[in-house]
């Protein structure tokens, strides 16, 4: 440890380093006392790397604490900010405070009852080595949203003929499978986890990452699940990380259609939905820097006013992909 | 439910000065005092907007007919009265 506050570090100093990332029109920095962690981030997010920017006013500090622990500090305008406030919105409902008079411990229901995170002051310490990257990513996402210049949706993002297709639904709804089916129809696929919109102009940025398919999705696409190497980020939930294909075109920024996945059926059905219904559905999947429901509903209303919205029942993936393509074709003859 | 007796040539009651946001044809209204959020359907949104202290029930009905295919024989005035009563029960109208 250098003893220098991470917020004040130059690009390299005293064994500590920092890198700069640009995402969704924002430049931020990540500093760490372990250079290999930054190299891992550089390898994982090469398209986000940015040259050092003195005006990058927020960032994360990553300190290794020994025994596999990771302490994450967040900074805004050079001052530490309190990461423990990140659980204020409904999007963090998977995290549960563990009763303890002396410590602020949290578990995550996806990973069992064991403490995953401890807050000490405003810093977050990740207690499970296997979840370090995930928690660092969640902290990074929170930091992006904290400035209230972005809103995040849990969604898969693809594009066909210059129009983005945003597939919205909870885990297991079929987003990734459908995104892969659309890729097989020639669509660019950007990711299956997060879509961000800038405020106030609602330009779209997808968090690029490989699709992760469950066995049922592989079956539905006619793949051979025995030939695949599965991994379990969550216990009992095996997934296949589909090799990432770099998109042919950048993600369209201001042409999109939002599809709310509403279950499975024999045949795919797509119907436009009214603004109020779309906003109500949308607000359930929004993450934002403030927990205020009305502010989130206003953002949802703005989004549905800007982009067409449909309710989608998924049939066979290939047929559903064809139905989506037909809808987009009618919108953009 | 509140009973609303409103003749065609009468002015609709005035709405409270609450912030509203459009979502398609619908309006999202926030009542900061009660902490409640109300979604008004497309037709209720028209009536809500007509509650400006100047628009009569007849003018409001014209706006609804211009926006929707209202079947013949519909007692539109009764529908306007019922919606005004509902808006009143939700505390969205100024007290007389």
pLDDT digit of tens for each residue in chain A (333 aa)?
Answer: 344 454 554 444 445 588 999 999 999 999 998 888 899 999 989 989 999 888 898 999 999 887 778 999 999 888 899 998 888 888 888 899 999 999 999 999 888 899 999 999 999 999 998 899 899 999 999 999 988 999 999 999 999 999 999 999 988 899 999 999 999 999 999 999 999 999 999 999 999 999 999 999 989 988 888 888 888 877 788 899 888 888 999 999 999 999 999 999 999 999 999 888 999 999 988 999 988 888 899 999 999 999 999 999 999 999 999 999 999 988 877
Chain A touched by B36 (CB under 8 Å): no
What residues of chain A, 287 to 326, have a C-beta less than 8 Å from chain B? 293-294, 297-298, 300-302, 304-305
The reply to whether residue A276 touches residue B21, judged by beta carbons under 8 angstroms, is: no
Q: What is the interface size between A and B, counted as CB pairs within 8 Å? A: 41
Listed residue (A34, A25, A89) closest to A53, CA to CA: A25
Interacting residues of A286 by C-beta distance below 8 A, sequence separation 6+: A91, A151, A152, A153, A296, A299, A300
Chain A touched by B18 (CB under 8 Å): no
Q: Give pLDDT tens digits along chain B (96 positions).
A: 778 888 999 999 999 999 889 998 999 998 888 888 899 999 999 999 999 999 999 999 999 999 999 998 899 999 999 999 999 999 999 976
Listed residue (A134, A32, A122, A121) closest to A74, CA to CA: A122
The reply to whether residue B21 touches residue A275, judged by beta carbons under 8 angstroms, is: no
Q: What is the structure's pLDDT at A68? A: 76
Q: Give the gap in angstroms from C-alpha A292 to the nearest C-alpha of chain B.
A: 11
Which of A293, A294, A305 is facing B23, going by the closest CB pair?
A: A305
Which of B23, B35, B44 best probes binding to A when mutated, by most A CB atoms within 10 angstroms? B23
Predicted TM-score (pTM) of the model is 0.87
Q: Please tell me the distance from the alpha carbon of residue A58 to that of residue A20, in angstroms, as a whole number.
A: 10
Say if residue A169 is preceded by a cis peptide, omega within 30 of 0. Answer: no
User: Distance of alpha carbon B30 from its chain centroid, rounded?
Assistant: 15
Which of A200, A294, A302, A308 best probes binding to B when mutated, by most B CB atoms within 10 angstroms? A294
Q: How far is CA A253 from CA A178, A202, A275, A280, B52, in A?
A: 21, 8, 21, 23, 39
Chain A touched by B37 (CB under 8 Å): yes
Radius of gyration for chain A, computed over Cα atoms and rounded to the nearest angstrom: 20
């Amino acid at each position: 440890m250098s003893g220098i506050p991470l917020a004040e570090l130059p690009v390299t100093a005293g064994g500590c380093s920092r890198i700069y990332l640009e995402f969704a029109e924002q430049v931020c920095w990540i500093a760490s006392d372990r250079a290999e962690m930054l190299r891992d981030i550089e390898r994982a997010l090469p398209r986000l790397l940015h040259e050092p920017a003195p005006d990058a006013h927020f960032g994360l500090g990553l300190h290794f604490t020994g025994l596999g622990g990771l302490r994450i500090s967040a900074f805004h305008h050079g001052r530490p900010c309190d990461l423990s406030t990140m659980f204020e919105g409904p999007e963090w409902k998977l995290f549960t405070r563990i009763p303890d008079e002396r410590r602020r411990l949290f578990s995550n229901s996806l990973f069992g009852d064991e403490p995953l995170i401890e807050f000490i002051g405003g810093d977050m310490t990740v207690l499970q080595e296997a979840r370090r990257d995930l928690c660092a990513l969640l902290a990074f996402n929170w930091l992006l949203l904290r400035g209230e210049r972005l809103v995040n949706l849990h969604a898969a993002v693809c594009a066909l003929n210059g129009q983005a297709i945003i597939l919205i639904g909870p885990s297991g709804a079929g987003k990734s499978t459908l995104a892969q089916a659309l890729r097989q129809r020639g669509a660019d696929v950007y990711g299956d986890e997060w879509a961000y919109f800038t405020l106030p102009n609602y330009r779209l940025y997808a968090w690029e990452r490989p699709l992760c398919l469950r066995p049922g999705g592989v079956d539905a696409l006619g793949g051979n699940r025995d030939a695949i190497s599965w991994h379990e980020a969550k216990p009992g939930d095996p997934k296949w990380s589909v090799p990432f294909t770099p998109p042919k075109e950048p993600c369209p920024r201001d042409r999109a259609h939002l599809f709310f996945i509403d279950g499975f059926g024999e045949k795919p059905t797509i119907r436009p939905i009214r603004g109020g219904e779309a906003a109500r559905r949308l607000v359930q999947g929004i993450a934002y820097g403030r927990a205020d429901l009305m502010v989130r509903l206003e953002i949802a209303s703005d989004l549905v006013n800007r982009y067409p919205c449909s309710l989608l029942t998924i049939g066979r993936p290939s047929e559903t992909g064809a139905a989506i393509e037909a809808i987009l074709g009618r919108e953009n003859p | 439910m509140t009973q609303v007796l409103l003749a065609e040539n009468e002015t609709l009651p005035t709405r409270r000065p609450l912030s509203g946001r459009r979502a398609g044809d619908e309006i999202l209204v926030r009542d900061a005092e009660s902490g409640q959020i109300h979604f008004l359907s497309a037709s209720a949104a028209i009536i809500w907007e007509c509650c400006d202290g100047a628009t009569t029930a007849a003018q409001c009905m014209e706006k609804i007919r211009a926006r929707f295919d209202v079947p013949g024989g519909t007692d539109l005035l009764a529908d306007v009265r019922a919606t005004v009563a509902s808006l009143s029960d939700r505390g969205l109208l100024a007290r007389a």
